[in-house]
Amino acid sequence: MTTSYRSPGIACVDHVIEVPLDHGDPTSERISVFGREVVASGNETADLPWLLFLQGGPGGKATRPVPATGWLRRALREYRVLLLDQRGTGRSTPANRQTLARFGSGEQTADYLRHFRADSIVRDAEVFRRRLTGDRPWSVLGQSFGGFCALTYLSIAPEGLAAVLVTGGLAGLDAGPDEVYRALYPRVLRKNTEYFSRYPQDEPIVRSVFDHLAEHEVLLPTGERLTPHRFQTLGIEFGKAGTFDRLHYLLEEAFVDAPGGPDLSDTFLHGVSGSVTFATDPLYALLHESIYCQGGASLWSAHRLRREFTEFDVDEGASVRFTGEMIYPWMFEEDPALVPLRDAAEALAAKTDWPNLYDHDVLSHNRVPVAAVVYHDDMYVDRELSLRTAEQVKGLRTWVTSQYEHDGLRMDSGVLDRLIAMTRGEA
């Protein structure tokens, strides 16, 4: 099924394909996967090479072109781009508290969701490629988790790839959840140090907000409660450009003088609301630790390892430190978008039979041109793990830079420009 339309400077074709939930079992139920084809106006009939964009996540839908700017505008100079809504996201068959309610137990839900990792995403992409290109190879651009998917693509279907471009997404090929989160916590602490060094005046405000939430029942505009530890999760965005400033300006207006004394302002609560819920991307919370599992269970890795980093504990008089992209069991008790999925999350955390996502032998003999930017101070993807992976993928070229945060691709189209040149031996 396709639908065509135009926006200033671009022409789009919406594609929906049907794929098996389990690519290893063609008789399994069918789900839909959505992809938006984008081409520069005037190039609609041109014979252009394809570029598949794999969004970060897990659980993130693809970029929406409004119209083409930044990296997409650069890509459209020479590519026909497919913006893929990875299974379970966006306009693909959704996986959320509403649609997953059809399952009778958390175990059944988890059995369904085990098919939503990188290996299944890649096999969906291969169906799309054969449908759109006549079986010609295409190039892939993987941002963050999209880069993890690109490494899986190189492992299981390298014949479908002309080139691979990775931005902030070289996963540790052997790193399980514990290694990932044990490295993540110190990086998040460093980001806290950077934040409070820039805005030292926010230290007492943050502590006052935390104490107010501990002493009062504060409801967000959605009617759900904002607890102290939900407030601490605002650090999830600390690894992206401009986040420090946005949080600072929000904290500037945290309190108002109400008849009963200082109260958290509606402005502040509205600003916080969208950052402490997974309503728009529940798969992020459900699968975040599972994307690192290859054989063993995660067993709530981030939650277990937090006891090793007491800096995040808020004792009387202690400074408040924000957490990052850690997922905790209590989120499935407090976030209305996740509460119905608590049993499924428990089942996923206990699951031990995750298949491997990367083929070391195939990667060590790789023949596909691969270029990756590794952000030196990336909060989300560990630099050392990325460089270790780069050594294990034959021919992979890296560009290590401290010029950008994790979202460098979004901030500067020159990132894509340089990666393309690297795969062609021009940089």
pLDDT at residue 54 is higher than 80: yes
360-393 pLDDT per residue, tens: 999 999 999 999 999 999 999 999 999 999 999 9
Strand partners, 138: 161
Separation CA 77–CA 95 (nearest Å): 34
Q: Residue 79: what pLDDT?
A: 98
Residue 10's CB is within 10 A of a number of other CB atoms, namely 21
Q: Residue 315: what pLDDT?
A: 86
Q: Which listed residue (115, 155, 406, 407) is catalytic?
A: 406
Question: Is 365 tagged catalytic?
Answer: no
Average pLDDT over residues 344-369: 97
pTM over 0.85: yes
Instruction: Place 42 in a pLDDT band, splitting at 50, 70 and 90.
Output: very high
> Around 121, how many Cα atoms within 13 Å sit in the side-chain half-sphere?
37
Q: Residue 255: what pLDDT?
A: 97
Q: Which listed residue (120, 144, 298, 301) is catalytic?
A: 144
8 Å CB contact between 386 and 150 = no
Q: Residue 249: what pLDDT?
A: 98
Separation CA 185–CA 42 (nearest Å): 48
Closest CA to 379 of 402, 399, 397: 402
pLDDT at residue 95 is higher than 90: yes
Q: What is the CATH number of domain 2-173+358-423?
A: 3.40.50.1820
Question: Is 144 tagged catalytic?
Answer: yes
Peptide bond into 228 cis (omega under 30): no
E-strand spans in 8-49?
10-20, 30-40
Residue 324, both tokens: 């990052």
Helix (H) or strand (E) segment spanning residue 173: none
Separation CA 44–CA 60 (nearest Å): 27
275-322 pLDDT per residue, tens: 999 999 999 999 999 999 998 999 999 999 999 999 999 987 789 999
Q: Residue 68: what pLDDT?
A: 74
Instruction: Place 57 in a pLDDT band, splitting at 50, 70 and 90.
Output: very high
Write the DSSP string, 39-67: EETT-TTS-PPEEEEE-SSSSPPPPPPSS
Average pLDDT over residues 222-242: 96
Average pLDDT over residues 16-21: 98
Q: Residue 317: what pLDDT?
A: 75
pLDDT at residue 2 is higher than 90: no
CATH 3.40.50.1820-classified regions of the chain: 2-173+358-423
Q: Which listed residue (47, 257, 315, 353) is catalytic?
A: 353
Residue 84, both tokens: 């893929």
8 Å CB contact between 338 and 278 = yes
Query: What average pLDDT is seen over the chain?
Result: 96
Question: Is 15 tagged catalytic?
Answer: no
Average pLDDT over residues 23-37: 96
Helix (H) or strand (E) segment spanning residue 86: none
3-class secondary-structure state, position 32: strand
